[in-house]
Amino acid sequence: MAGTNATLKLMKLADPQGHYLGEMIDLDRCIADLAEGRRDFDLSFVFAHNDAGISYAGTMSCISRAGLFVVIFGRDAEELAETIDFDCEKLVAKAVHNPTPLKKLVDEVIEWAASRP
């Protein structure tokens, strides 16, 4: 998982024993590693609720060969999804305070990816 310092701290707080999270890396370091060819992934999920998230997803589409899934959420999720003009799979949910719709979308993709040869 890559994220900002604040995001990584929240994730550590949410999963202190590391039952669900594997390696966590600073977002800027991850981007540098991808751009310089030191790291890549099979699948990449970008969670976006604003323009900055969409910009990051656009960066990922250019520097990684991973299958890109942009999880777009929030009150204006549909409108934000329409701003994407790069190749990716869009997972859109108006989830604001309830993460269940997002979890269902991500679970479906992970199940699909696990069943691929």
Q: What is the DSSP string of the chain?
A: -EE-HHHHHHHHHH-TT-SS----EEHHHHHHHHHTTS---SEEEEEESSHHHHHHHHHHHHH--SEEEEEEESTTHHHHHTT--SS-EEEEE--SS--HHHHHHHHHHHHHHHH--
Beta bridge partners of 3: 26
Q: What is the pLDDT of residues 49-94, one digit of tens each?
A: 999 999 999 999 999 999 999 999 999 999 999 999 999 999 998 8
- Where in the sequence of the chain do the CATH 3.40.50.10160 domains occur? 41-117
Residue 117: the pLDDT is 67
- CATH number given to 41-117: 3.40.50.10160
Q: What is the pLDDT of residues 32-52, one digit of tens each?
A: 999 999 999 999 999 999 999
